Structure 1
Amino acid sequence: MKLNFLIILTQVASVLASVASVNDNNFDSLVIQSDKWSLVDYYADWCRHCKSFEPIYEQLGELFADFDKVQILKINGDKDGRKTSKKYKIPGFPMIQMYHGNDEPIEFEGSRDLQSLSNFVQSLANIRLPSPEEEAEPSKVLELDDETFEEQVLKAPTAKSMVVFTASWCGHCVKVKPIWQKLANRIYGNDGEVIQLVEVVTTDVSAEKLMKQFGVQSFPTILYFDPSKVDSDGLRRPEAYVGERTVESFVQFINEKTGLHRSLDGRFDENAGRIAHLDNLIQHQVLGQDIASRIEFLKQIDNFVKISNSKVTERSEIVKPTDDLSMIPYYRKLTNKIINGEEEFIPREIKRLTKIITTNSRNIQEKTVDSMEKRLNVLKSFI
């Protein structure tokens, strides 16, 4: 099947233009100084070969739309890209070159088909596109209806829910579906106990009660449910999502609501695992301090645990929604290491974990990588 199945998926998933245009004025800043692998197609409006090649190049842009280190670009070499064409001695159109920083550009000399172009980009940028089999993995998006919604969402013991109400005839809903799939499978795939992605396809299942209950009048309607928040009348009312319908906006919203710290590639960012109050105390009671001060910090950890388990008013001032309370034992472990004169453990462990994550993360279970990234972040708060 080669890339046929993958092409179909990426065509559906394309929400924004997949190939950006550059010109003489911005070529240096957007290409040379970008630190990205930049594939550039030099074309001319009058060139019939360029016009025939354009749809293939657009598909290539869609294939690599989710890879931050790659950008697929084009430049009109006969208009606002003449100086650039002359600088790089472009003999004719179309011509394709790969740029990376100040390195000499590498000309693509293969057949101008999607498979050959894709292999060229993957080999130079050292990345791998998911195979059709990987793309066909079971969806982690929960498909619910009038009968199943209450148990799965309103009565969920811990998990919060992002719910999208869609209709099969809705064009905007078609664009949201691959984004929902990416959120559920690739970004928050390990966080099912914290956040679940839900879809109610109102034209395919019984959804009249839900639409009436939550005032769904247009599509897509996106609602956020937090089972821990109950109104005075005993009802769990959702919060309407009114932001942009992009992966970036959804990730920002979910991270803020759940305390997760996922980046767009599904990995944790530098704040994952951290506890703000303890990080602040470390600066004053641990780093460069005497044993008594460090022992006092252990007492402050115990006090923090008590506050985090209470409902006192000062809890909101000390315990932040983004704090990862599961890492409290690790803060205590590292403090004991320092008290026992094992301070060298921290830089040594940072080096060890960084090496594993950088060189071998693909061969390790995702949850193990998550745990290592959290520990690495906490370790860095002690230096």
Structure 2
Amino acid sequence: PRQQSESSVSQQSGKMFRAVALACAVSSAAATLELTPDTFEDQVFKSGKSAFIKFFAPWCGHCKKMKPDWDTLATEYESSDKVLIADVDCTAAGKSLCDKYGVKGFPTIKYFNPPDEEGEDYKGGRSLSDLKKFAAELGPGCSVDTMENCSDEQKAELQTYIDMSAEDRAKMLEDLKTELKTAEEKHDTLLKELQATYKESMDKVEALKEASAPKIKLLKAATPSAKKEAVKDEM
């Protein structure tokens, strides 16, 4: 009986060990590649892949909710030579990347199709099926090196820029970036002004409430109840 008991304990221990090992393996496999400023350029711009990137904060509830599906997607594309699925932690080493790409809420998902280095906001659904469908459609965009990916309209417009000198293209690109940056700065300034105005107005309302409360209380206290008024009239 003692030998049977020891054998049973040994079997249970073995099962427990295998279960823990399996859980660790699954957890390890589910980990999504996390990018930092040191790895972002090589992984996103120099790999030749399209990139689907989630900018997140660990404390964000929506980020936690979508993490299992995002990790599943990352696992499916782990060995892909066309699409990279990755994370950027905006509270840690990736903060400067989040600032660079204008991340203001979490999670923010962006995609980069070569040769695009600006990134575009993903505005689709957050379910695993939605993410899978979008990832499957990612690929190199329209460029001088991939004319086969251009529509006739894109080819015509692209040719206009191809015919420009490198200096003129660079200047035009810089002017557009400056215009966009100026517009964003004006928007941020307006937002801060509106927030300040809102706070000032709210402070006035709260101050008035606090100042009026004692008077309102006394005015109500000075008004006889309907029952007492009725008794007074009868007398």
Scaled by the length of structure 1, the TM-score of the pair is: 0.31
- Larger radius of gyration between Structure 1 and Structure 2: 2
* Larger fraction in helix: 2
Q: Taking CA–CA contacts closer than 8 Å with sequence separation of 6 or more, which of the two structures ends up with the larger relative contact order?
A: 2
